[in-house]
């Protein structure tokens, strides 16, 4: 049980909030969701499920210049793909009228004032935590003047940046967020939902708690950086005399080799370091999905890392471990050769084709078996042969035996090369007594390699990925550099391989294991004429 569950169980025991649990996931629609958001989604929706409660989806859409419906749509798709369904869908912008009314209510009670100071003056007067700030010279305007000015701010009579509405909180508080925080700013921006209806927009701190309150949220979970905002969250609920949800902070997910700020991810997209938000190298949920990650793997990862009160950095290999673990259970095995070289079995009859049984998934008997043809001419992985092999190389070399998976033991005799010295044919003999499954087939060889019959192949583009960043902490750039300086120039390589012929765009399985190579999935760029696969992750760390 994590510390949030302990709080909830205590609250349930005491009958707090009529013993309800109601959480929310509150993304700002200014980008695509990333793996960090997945942690928050699993937490919020997971708690609602565990305690028979509810979980809302609320778009925190108070920054119209950065937000867009494209993001709204992608966020909904990603949450559902992860396997969660919200109780109801809300937008902070639905509460603009109510928030405005509350602001007037606060003005009428002397709890808010219009400030004509510049941004610089405000921040300068706020001072430093160790000394009380200086009160603005506009702080003691009359209620009438404040109301008049605030109404005219709403009516669009003033320039952007010329005035703000501030809460009259505590200019001496050691918590800078309490020093008369800004509640509204003027912004002549079109909002993706409210259009041009508003030219004043509420700040996060003025909108978030009240939105939670309106929705009857019981436990408002957020990341640690909001701990310092909590007194303000509580203060607004208190002075407005409205229902008061409890804000609880937890440690955000940090992953090494990964950037997790939407602003920076947007930069990678806009400056074309990647193909888009759903590039398989991106830590976005849509990127992970395209890469071949399963929702089960991501949920399992979330569960494994747990919920803590202190920040830490998770090794990205743990995420890879989780996806491997799930794909091992569900991926359909298939033969694919990424860098093919021809292998000819000289003593195998020219015209013969044997159908061999291959197991679709040894972890799942229900996945069944399929027949794959075996013949005289095959392709194997170029890397599985080495001419000058030292004693640590166990795969194919001249005069050595290996097993061809599901088939026979072969022995290499010689190779043929082109003018530039590249191997074009590997020649070998096979031992008919060693067919897999035969009584005598137990002869020991050091390696089993995969293969594909010449007459049973089709070409495929196979995209191989490495980490997008070359250093564990790309955010922690040395002086004069930014995270962009650590983008790995070799994060994508394209192989032109051969895969089993039966696979088409239409019948493709969700997840594949290319035997001995790794986990793969078909990419959305695949067409009927050109299959494209992404490597999700290798078989081993």
Residue of 12, 16, 20, 28 interacting with Mg ion (CB under 5 A): 28
Q: Give the residue nearest to ligand ATP (CB).
A: 36
219 is a contact residue toward ligand ATP (CB under 6 A) = no
Q: 313 near 255, Cβ under 8 Å?
A: yes
Residues 443 and 435: their CA atoms lie apart, in Å, by 10
209 is a contact residue toward ligand ATP (CB under 6 A) = no
Residues 372 and 369: their CA atoms lie apart, in Å, by 10
For ligand ATP, the closer CB: 60 or 215: 60
Q: 482 near 273, Cβ under 8 Å?
A: no
Residue 242 phi, psi (nearest 5): -115, 165
For Mg ion, the closer CB: 134 or 260: 260
**Which of these is catalytic: 141, 179, 185, 262?**
262
Shortest CA distance to 503 belongs to which of 465, 460, 441, 451?
A: 460
Known catalytic membership, residue 16 = no
Beta carbon of residue 400, minimum distance to ligand ATP (angstroms, whole number): 50
Partner whose binding site includes residue 450, from Mg ion, ligand ATP, none (CB under 5 to 8 Å by kind): none
Residues 219 and 217: their CA atoms lie apart, in Å, by 6
523 is a contact residue toward ligand ATP (CB under 6 A) = no
**Which of these is catalytic: 28, 77, 135, 303?**
28
Shortest CA distance to 356 belongs to which of 430, 466, 258?
A: 430
For ligand ATP, the closer CB: 31 or 340: 31
135 is a contact residue toward Mg ion (CB under 5 A) = no
Among 21-29, 119-127, 360-368, 442-450, which window interacts with Mg ion (CB under 5 A)?
A: 21-29
Name residues contacting ligand ATP, limited to 12-41 (CB under 6 A).
26-28, 36-37, 39-40
Query: Mask: binding to ligand ATP, 250-279, rule CB under 6 A, as x and -?
Result: --xx------xxx-----------------
Give the Cα-Cα-Cα angle 418, 422, 427 (nearest 5 degrees). Answer: 80
- Classify burial at 469, counting beta carbons within 10 Å of its beta carbon; exposed 0-12, middle 13-18, buried 19 or more: buried
287 is a contact residue toward ligand ATP (CB under 6 A) = no
66 is a contact residue toward Mg ion (CB under 5 A) = no
211 is a contact residue toward ligand ATP (CB under 6 A) = no
Q: CA dist 140 to 24, 114, 153, 174, 289, Å?
A: 38, 10, 18, 22, 55
Partner whose binding site includes residue 36, from Mg ion, ligand ATP, none (CB under 5 to 8 Å by kind): ligand ATP
Q: 403 near 409, Cβ under 8 Å?
A: yes
Known catalytic membership, residue 262 = yes
Shortest CA distance to 207 belongs to which of 218, 195, 215, 199?
A: 215
Known catalytic membership, residue 501 = no
Q: 36 near 74, Cβ under 8 Å?
A: no
Residue of 222, 232, 409, 498 interacting with ligand ATP (CB under 6 A): 222
Catalytically active residues, by annotation: 28, 252, 262
Residues that bind ligand ATP (CB under 6 A): 26-28, 36-37, 39-40, 60, 222-223, 252-253, 260-262
Residues that bind Mg ion (CB under 5 A): 28
């Amino acid at each position: 049980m994590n510390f949030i569950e302990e709080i909830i169980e205590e609250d349930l025991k005491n009958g707090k909030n009529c013993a309800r649990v109601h959480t929310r996931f509150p993304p700002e629609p200014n980008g695509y969701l990333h793996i960090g958001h997945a942690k928050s989604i699993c937490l919020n929706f997971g708690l609602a499920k565990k305690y028979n409660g509810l979980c809302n989806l609320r778009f925190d859409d108070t920054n119209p210049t950065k937000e867009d419906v494209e993001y709204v749509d992608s966020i909904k798709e990603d949450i559902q793909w992860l396997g969660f369904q919200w109780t109801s869908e809300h937008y902070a912008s639905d509460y603009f009228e109510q928030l405005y009314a509350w602001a007037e209510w606060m003005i009428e009670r002397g709890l808010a004032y219009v400030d004509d100071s510049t941004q610089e003056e405000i921040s300068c007067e706020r001072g430093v935590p160790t000394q009380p700030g200086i009160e603005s010279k506009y702080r003691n305007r009359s209620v009438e003047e404040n109301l008049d000015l605030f109404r005219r701010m709403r009516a669009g009579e003033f320039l952007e940046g010329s005035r703000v509405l501030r809460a009259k909180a505590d200019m001496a508080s050691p918590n800078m967020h309490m020093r008369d925080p800004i509640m509204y700013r003027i912004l002549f921006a079109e909002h993706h939902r409210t259009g041009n209806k508003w030219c004043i927009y509420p700040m996060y701190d003025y909108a978030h708690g009240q939105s939670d309150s309106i929705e009857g949220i019981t436990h408002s979970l957020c990341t640690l950086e909001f701990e310092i905002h909590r007194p303000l969250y509580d203060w607004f609920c208190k002075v407005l005399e409205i229902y008061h949800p409890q804000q609880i902070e937890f440690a955000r997910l940090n992953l090494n080799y990964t950037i997790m700020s939407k602003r920076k991810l947007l930069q990678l997209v806009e400056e074309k370091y990647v193909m888009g938000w759903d590039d398989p190298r991106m830590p976005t949920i849509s990127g992970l999905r395209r890469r071949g990650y399963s929702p089960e793997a991501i949920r399992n990862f979330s569960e494994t890392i747990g919920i803590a009160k202190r920040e830490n950095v998770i090794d990205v290999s743990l995420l890879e471990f989780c996806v491997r673990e799930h794909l091992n259970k569900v991926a359909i095995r298939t033969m694919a050769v990424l860098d093919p070289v021809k292998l000819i079995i000289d003593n195998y009859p020219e015209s013969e084709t044997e159908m061999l049984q291959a197991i679709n998934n040894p972890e799942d008997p229900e996945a069944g078996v399929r027949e794959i043809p075996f013949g005289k001419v095959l392709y194997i992985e170029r890397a599985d042969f080495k001419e000058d092999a030292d004693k640590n190389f166990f795969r194919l070399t001249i005069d050595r035996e290996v097993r061809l998976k599901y088939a026979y033991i072969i022995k290499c005799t010689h190779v043929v090369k082109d003018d530039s010295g590249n191997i074009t044919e590997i020649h070998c003999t096979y031992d008919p007594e060693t067919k897999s499954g035969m009584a005598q087939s137990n002869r020991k060889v050091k390696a089993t390699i995969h293969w594909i019959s010449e007459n049973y192949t089709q070409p495929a583009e196979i995209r191989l990925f490495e980490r997008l960043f070359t250093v564990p902490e790309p955010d922690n750039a040395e002086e004069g550099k930014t995270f962009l300086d650590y983008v790995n120039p070799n994060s994508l390589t394209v192989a032109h391989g051969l895969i089993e012929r039966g696979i088409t765009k239409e019948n493709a399985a969700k997840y594949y294991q290319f035997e001995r190579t790794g986990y793969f999935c078909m990419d959305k760029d695949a067409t009927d004429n050109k299959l494209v696969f992404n490597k999700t992750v290798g078989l081993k760390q």
